[in-house]
Amino acid sequence: MKQHLIWLLALGLGGWGLPVLAHGLTVEYRQVSRVEIEARFETGEPMANAQVLVYAPNNPTVAWQNGNTDDQGRFSFTPDTAQPGNWEVMVRQAGHGDLTTIPVGASAAADSADVEVAANSLISPSTGLSPIQRGLTIGSVIWGCIGTALFFARGKR
């Protein structure tokens, strides 16, 4: 029997919100990036109480988190955004399993890649002259030429 994993939610931004004070208590909240999965067989039956193993990009061998789906085949986890890349989620039950990959921080990773490329693209032009250097050089060369011309144009004493 085949099963499918459905990703219900994989959105959210990090950041602490302002505390809410009530009778001396402090309640703080933080929005986090959470991934929710829903696993079901192709018949539509939920994979209830299935084993879930979550693997982080920097260690695909040892599970970063494990748990079980609920009776609706649902499971959620909050990936560590400090580890951008492909997070893998394995869901297993009674000899059947599936593994799916969730890109986390892909846009951030892409941005990082862009920054790196941009930095490199700046490195290459820097082997030439900056506008100021170019202006000073041209001016100096002209001044040097004038001086040289005046030197050879000087008359004999």
Partner 1 sequence: MQRNTFKLAAVGVLGSVTLVMLPGCGSSSPTATAPETAAPASANGKTGTLLIRANGEDFVREGFTTKDGWEISFDHVYVSLADITAAQTDPPFEPEAGGKLEAQTEVKAVGPEVIDLAEGDAAADPIAVTAIEAPPGHFNALAWRMVPAESGPSVGSSIWMQGTATKDGSTIPFTIKVNEELAFTCGDFVGDERKGILAAGDQADLEATFHFDHLFGDGSAPADDGINTGALGFDPIAGLAQNNVVDVDSAALQARLSETDYTTFLAILPSLGHVGEGHCQEMNLTAL
Q: Which residues contact partner 1 (rule: CB under 8 A)?
A: 1-2, 4, 41, 43, 55, 60-61, 86, 88, 90, 92, 94-101, 116, 120, 122-123, 126-130, 133, 136-137, 140-141, 143-148, 150-151, 154-155, 157
Residues 6 or more apart whose CB falls under 8 angstroms from that of 80 comprise: 56, 64
Given the complex with partner 1, which of 22 and 62 has the nearer CB atom?
Answer: 62
> Is the Cβ of residue 23 or residue 154 nearer to partner 1 in the bound state?
154
Give me the least distance between CB of 28 and partner 1, in Å please.
37
Smaller CB distance to partner 1: residue 1 or 20?
1
Q: How far is the CB of 112 from partner 1 (least distance, A)?
A: 13
Provide, rounded to whole angstroms, the least separation between the CB of residue 37 and partner 1.
14
Q: By C-alpha distance, which of 39, 12, 16 is closest to 97?
A: 39
Q: Judged by CB, which is closer to partner 1: 14, or 139?
A: 139
Q: What is the chain's Cα-based Rg? A: 31
Q: In angstroms, give the least distance from the CB of 30 to partner 1.
A: 30
Q: Which is nearer to partner 1, 32 or 141 (CB)?
A: 141
Contact criterion met (CB below 8 Å) for 96 and 54: no
Q: Long-range contact list for 126-129, CB < 8 A, 24+ apart?
A: none
Least CB distance from residue 154 to partner 1, whole Å?
A: 4
Q: What is the 3-state secondary structure (H, E, C) of 90-116?
A: EEEECCEEEEEEEEECHHHHHHHHHHH
Q: Which of 62, 55, 100 is nearest to 80 (CA)?
A: 55
Handedness of CA 35, 36, 39, 42 (dihedral sign): negative
